[in-house]
Structure 1
Amino acid sequence: MTSQQTGSDDLELIEQNDGFTLIWQQRLILRHTAQAPCLWTGAGEADIAMFRGNFSIKDKLNEKIALTNASVTKQRTGWTIHFTRGDAVSATLIIDTDTAGRLQLRLQNEASSHNRIWLRLAAQPEDHIYGCGEQFSCFDLRGKPFPLWTSEQGVGRNKQSYVTWLADCKENAGGDYYWTFFPQPTFVSTQKYYCHVDNSCYMNFDFSAPEFHELAFWEDNATLRFECAQTYVALLEKLTNLLGRQPELPDWVYDGVTLGIQGGTEVCQQKLETMRNGGVKVNGIWAQDWSGIRMTSFGKRVMWNWKWNGELYPHLAERIQQWNREGVQFLSYINPYVASDRDLCAEAAKRGYLTKDAQGKDYHVEFGEFYAGVIDLTNPEAYNWYKGVIKQNLIALGCGGWMADFGEYLPTDTFLHNGVSAEIMHNAWPALWAKCNYEALEETGKLGEVLFFMRAGYTGSQKHSLMMWAGDQNVDWSLDDGLASVVPAALSLAMSGHGLHHSDIGGYTTLFDMKRSKELLLRWCDFSAFTPMMRTHEGNRPGDNWQFDSDAQTIAHFARMTTVFTTLKPYIKQAVAQNAKSGLPVMRPLFLHYENDPRAYTIKYQYLFGRDLLVAPVYEEGRRDWTLYLPQDSWVNLWTGEECGGGEITVNAPLGQPPVFYRAQSEWASLFNALRLI
C-alpha cells in the first residue's frame, strides 16, 4: 500500500494491491477495487418522447461494463488513472484541483462506441443528501434515485394518487416524485461537502445504496467539482461562489401582494380598487393575458404573440403610468416560444431564427391545441432579436416585471444553430432563457428596478434568474403537488444555490373536478406572507376557483397578511441582501443554523425565514391547531408572545395566524412584537 499526496495536504490518493482510495479534506470520495469498482462505462441509445412537456425516457442499453483494473500515474498537480477491462474497454480519470482550489474529477470514455458512464462516489450509511435542484416530494434525497431532466413537474406527482392516475391516463402527465422544472446535478452531503457536475446531459443520481452514490451520465465525459467547509452556511457560500448569486430584489416587491388578474384594463382597475379599498397592500398587477387569450379545453391560455393586445387592454400604456404614480407596477408574461399562427412567429421564421427538424424545416411544438415555434437561443442573431422583443415590447411599454415562463420544452429531436445535440442542450435551455431576460434588463439599465420570475432552471440560473416560482401546483391539499410541496421545493433549491423562491397563492392546476377552496386560498396566503414575494394566480380555470376578491372576509384576510408582509419589509430585505452577498438563502432548512440537532435534518415542511423566524405552514384541510418542532433555542410565539424552548409542541393555528416563532434574542424582536397589533 502506498500513499501519495499533491502539494496540498487536502488531497491524498492511497494505492492498494488491486485499487485505490481518494481522500479530499478528510472525506473519502472514491474507493476502487477489482471486486467493487467505482467506474462503469457502456453504450446506450436514448429513447425520449415528449408530449406537451411531459417526457417518457428510456435507455436502450447495449452494455454496461465494470472497469475493474486501475493504473495510477502521478502528475504534477494530481493523478491520471487509466481504467480498463480487457483490451477494448477503457476510460481515463484525471484528478486535480481547478484554479479556485476545488477538487476536480474529469472522466473521459476512450472506447469510441461508449456514450454512458456510471461513477460510484463513496458514502456513509448515516449521510443525508440535499439539493439536485427543485425537488417537491423529497428534501432528504437519501434512499432514492433522482433522474435529472427538466420537464413539466407533473399533475399529482404521486403514482399512488387518483389524480396522478387520471393525468397519466389522459396524456402521460401525472409525473412522479422526481419530476421537476428545475433539476440540477448538484448535491450537498452531511459530510459537509458539495458535489457539482458541469454537464447538461441526462443524468441519474442514485442515493439508494448505503455505501455509495451512483451517478449516471448519458454522455462520454463528465466533470465533477467538490468543495468542503466546516459549516453549511460556509459551504453554501462556496457553492454560490461557483454558480453565481441572485441580485437584490426591486424595492417595490416588499410593498404588498402582486395581484394575478386577467380580463383587460378595466377589470384590472376594478379589482385593484376593490382590494385597496379593502385595506390590501398591493404592489402590482400581473396580467398574463396582456398579449391576448386563447381558449382551449385545458382552460384560458395566453396568446403567445408577445405584443400588447390593444383590444383587450385599451389605453394600457397610459394606465401603467397612472398605476406607477400610485405605487403599483404592471407585470406581463413571455416565454421562449412563438405561436405558429401569429406574426411574431412569421417574422422569426423569415429571419431563420427557429430551431429546425431533420429536413431543415422550422420545428413547431404542440402545446395543447395550438403549435409554436422554438426560438433558437443558440443562434446569436436570434438570441439578440428575442432580447430586443423583450426590450421593445415589455420594458419600453413600462412593465415592472413579467413571468418568464417555460424553458423545459426543448424537444430532443430538433436541430440547433450551435450544432450541439438537443439532448445535451435540453437541460441547459432554461438557464439560457434566463440569461436572455437578464441581459435585456442589464442592457436597458433596469436591473434592480424590474423583476422577472421563472419556473424552469438549471445550472446558471443562479446567476441569471432573479426569482424562482414553484410552478403549477394543484389547487388541493396533496403533499406532492399542493401547498405542502412548495416548502421542500424552496429548501432543495436553497441547497442547490438559488435562494429566492415563491409560489402562486392558491395554486394553479385546476383539473379533474378540483376546485380551489376558500380555506386553501387563505392558508396559502398565510404561508406566502413569509416568503420573499406574495403573488396570486387565478388558475387555469378561474371560474372554478375561489379568488382573492370572492367575498369580504377573503379581502380582509389579504389586508391582514399583506400588512404582516409589508411590516416585515426591513427584515426580508436584509435576508435578501444576505443571499445576494453570500448565497445564504432566504428560506432555509433548520439544520443550516442548528447543525447539532439530529431532528433538524429530517424536517421538510418547516423552514427558517431568514435567521430569526421559524415557519411551519398549515397544509391540511380543516385544521385549527398544528404540531411542529422547535430546535433548542429561546423561542417566542409570533402571535401570542408565549415563550418556549425546543422540542415538539402543538399550538393554536387559526386562519391568519400560521405557526411562526421568532428567536427571543433576535435584534428584530421589537419588529416582530409589532405584528401582534395587526
Structure 2
Amino acid sequence: MIEDLSAQKIKVMTYCNPCLAPMDEKKNVGRHLFEEAKKLDILVKDKNGGPYMVPNTAFDVGMLDFTHPKAAAWFKQILQAMVDDGVRGWMADFGEGLPVDACLYSGEDPITAHNRYPEIWARVNREFVEEWERSRPDESLVFFMRAGFRDSPKWASLFWEGDQMVSWQANDGIKSAVVGLLSSGISGYAFNHSDIGGYCAVSLPFFKYQRSEELLLRWMELNAFTTVFRTHEGNKPSCNSQFYSNQKTLSHFSRFAKIYKAWKFYRLQLVKEASEKGLPVCRHLFLHYPKDEHAHELRYEQFLVGSEILVAPVLDKGKEVVKVYFPQGESHVWKHVWTGKLHHKQGVETWVEAPLGYPAIFVKDGSKIGEMFLENLRDYNVL
C-alpha cells in the first residue's frame, strides 16, 4: 500500500507510543516487543521490581524507561523499521501517563519524572528524525505529539490537542479545541491542531455522543485555518460521520483542503516566524490588540491567523450566523472573504452570515497577504 501511494506522491503517516502490551493471546505476532523490552530490562518498574503494568483503556501496558541508557537506542530501531517500510511520519502518542509511584533506572523522584517523561519521549523521536535526515538531505520526516511539558516544543516538531469529544461543548468539544489551540499558542506550543471532528464517541443506552455530519463539516472549516488539516475516524468509526461518508462530506473536505492550501505561502512565513520568535501560527486577538479590553474577553469565538487573517468559526449546532468583533488598535479595514464587504468600524460586534461552506473569514483590506490569499482562492475555484 505504501508503495502504491508513494507512486502517486502521497506520503504515509502511522502511529507509535512508548507503551508495550503483552501479546501472549495474539496470533501471528511478528515481534514480541514487550518481551524484548522486558528481557533488556528497559521497562518502568513497580515497587516490587517487576514491570509496572499501567491500565490503558481495556488492557494493561508496560512503559519504556527512557532513563535507561539502552531504551532510546532500542526504540529508535522500531522507528527505523517503520521508515524502512516507507513511512514518512507518525503520531507519537501518549507519554503523559508515568505513574507517580513508579521506580526508574535513574532513581529520580517519579513525581518529577512524570513531567520530564514527555520531554524525553519527544527528544527520542526528534533525535531519530535528525539522525535519519542527516543521511538523506532531500527527504524529511515529521511526528506529532499530545503530551508535553516545559521543554517539549524544543524537541517535538508538531502537536495535537488530544482527544476531544465529538460534540459542540465548551469543556471538551469543538469549542475547547479552539481554547486549547490559543492557550497552547501563548505557552510556547506554536504548531498545534486538533482531530477534525473530534475523537471520543460514546454509545451507551442513555448516554450518547456521536459525530454528526454538521459537526464534522464545521470542524473542517475550523481546521482549514490551523497549522495542520487532518481528519480522524475517532474511537468508534462506524457511528461517526466521516469525510468519506457521502458526496457532501467528501466535497466539503475537498473544498476546505483547497482553502487550507490557499494560505500555504503565509503558513510557511508564520512557521519561520514561530521558529525565530516563538509567535504561534494561530493567535488570540490580544497578542496584536493588547489595549482592547473586549478582545481580552474572547475565549473561542474568533482568532487570528498570523496578523492578516481573522477567523470566526461556527461552533454551535444549527447556526448560520456568527457575531464577529472587529478589534481596536490599528487603522485598517477588514474585508469579508466571500462577499468583499468592508468593515470600517473598530471596537464593534457585527452579525455575519456563515452558511455551511462559507465561514466568517476576513483579511485586512490592502494587505499583500490578504490579496494573495484571495487570488489563490480564485485560482482553486473556491471563491
Report if TM-score (shorter chain) is over 0.5.
yes
Letter in 2 for 1:426: H
Quick check: 1:340–1:364 contact (8 Å CA) kept in 2?
no
Q: Which of 484, 501, 516 does residue 211 from structure 2 map onto?
A: 516
Distance 1:508 1:373 in 2: 24
Equivalenced residue count is: 359
Q: Tell me if the contact between 1:591 and 1:601 (Cα under 8 Å) persists in the aligned partners.
A: yes
Give the corresponding residue for 1:331: 13
Counterparts of 1:575 and 1:324, CA distance in 2: 28
Report the Cα offset of residue 670 of structure 1.
2.3
CA deviation vs aligned residue, 1:58-84 (integer Å, no higher than 9, x gap) = xxxxxxxxxxxxxxxxxxxxxxxxxxx
Does residue 656 in structure 1 map to residue 357 in structure 2?
A: yes
Alignment of 1:284-303 (within 5 A): none
1:452-467 aligned within 5 A = 452-467=143-158
**Paired residue for 2:313?**
617
For 1:2-401, what aligned pairs fall within 5 Å after superposition?
A: 319-341=1-23, 343-391=32-80, 393-401=81-89
- State how far apart, in whole Å, the 2-side matches of 1:473 and 1:640 are: 33
Secondary structure of the 2:15 match is strand
The correspondence of residues 564-575 of structure 1 with structure 2, limited to 5 A, is 564-575=259-270
Matched AA of 2:374: N
Q: Pick from 659, 664, 669: which aligns with 2:370?
A: 669
Secondary structure of the residue aligned to 1:519 is: helix
Is the contact made by 1:470 and 1:502 (CA closer than 8 Å) also made in structure 2? yes
- The alignment partner of 1:626 has SS state of strand
CA contact under 8 A between 2:309 and 2:370: conserved in structure 1? no
Residues 505-542 of structure 1: per-residue CA shift (max 9 Å, x gap): 00000013111000000000001111111111111111
State the superposition RMSD in angstroms.
Answer: 1.4
Structure with greater strand percent? 1
Distance apart, 1:324 and its partner CA: 2.1
Matched residue, 1:488: 179
C-alpha offsets along residues 381-401 of structure 1, whole Å, 9 cap, x if unaligned? 11221122212x222221111
For the residues of structure 2 that align with 1:584 and 1:482, how far apart are their CA atoms? 25
Question: Which contiguous aligned blocks of 4+ residues in structure 1 show a shift greater than 6 angstroms?
Answer: none
Q: Distance in 2 between matches of 1:370 and 1:423?
A: 24
Match of 2:227 in 1: 532
Aligned counterparts of 1:355 and 1:486: Cα–Cα separation in 2? 32
CA distance in 2, matches of 1:327, 1:651: 40
In structure 2, the partner of 1:435 is 123
Aligned residue type for 1:626: V
State the shift of 1:450 in Å: 1.1
* Corresponding residue of 2:326: 630
Could you say which structure has the larger radius of gyration? 1
Matched with 1:474 is: 165
Partner residue, 1:641: 340
> Could you report, residue by residue, the CA deviation over 1:127-151 in whole angstroms, capped at 9, with x for unpaired residues?
xxxxxxxxxxxxxxxxxxxxxxxxx
Distance in structure 2 (CA, Å) of the matches to 1:371 and 1:673: 51
CA distance, structure 1, for counterparts of residue 342 and residue 303 of structure 2: 19
Alpha carbons 1:641, 1:673 under 8 Å: kept: no
- Are the equivalent residues in 1 in contact too, given 2:186–2:279 (CA < 8 A)? no
2:368 is paired with a residue of what secondary structure? coil
Q: Using the alignment, how far apart are the partners of 1:428 and 1:525 within structure 2?
A: 34
**Corresponding residue of 2:243:** 548
Q: Distance in 2 between matches of 1:549 and 1:381?
A: 43
For residues 269-293 of structure 1, give each alpha carbon's deviation from its aligned partner in whole angstroms, at most 9, with x where no partner exists. Answer: xxxxxxxxxxxxxxxxxxxxxxxxx
Amino acid at match of 2:177: V
Contact kept, 8 Å, 2:46 with 2:52, in 1: the verdict is yes
- Runs of at least 5 residues in structure 1 that lack an aligned partner in the other structure: 1-318
Correspondence for 2:105 among 407, 410, 417: 417
**Could you say which residue in structure 2 is the equivalent of 1:302?**
none
Deviation digits for residues 203-226 of structure 1, max 9, x if unmatched? xxxxxxxxxxxxxxxxxxxxxxxx
Distance 1:551 1:341 in 2: 38
Report the alpha carbon displacement of residue 497 of structure 1 after superposing the two structures with TM.
1.1
Q: Within 2, Cα distance between the matches of 1:665 and 1:416?
A: 58
Q: Supply the AA of the counterpart residue of 1:644.
A: H
Give the whole-Å Cα distance in 1 for the aligned partners of 2:145 and 2:4: 27
The amino acid of 2:356's aligned partner reads L
The 2-side partners of 1:530 and 1:495 are apart by 17
> Is the Cα contact below 8 Å between 2:89 and 2:143 reproduced in 1?
yes
Q: Secondary structure at the match of 2:12?
A: strand
Structure 2: distance between partners of 1:623 and 1:422? 48
Shift of 1:462: 1.0
Post-superposition offset of 1:595: 2.0
State the distance in 2 between where 1:622 and 1:378 align.
Answer: 51
Pick the structure with more helix per residue: 2
TM-score, normalised via structure 1 length:
0.52
Give 1:399's aligned amino acid.
Answer: V
Larger RCO (alpha carbons 8 Å, 6+ apart): 1
Match of 1:503 among 185, 194, 205: 194
Paired residue type of 1:460: D
**Kept after mapping to 2: 8 A contact 1:388/1:440:** no
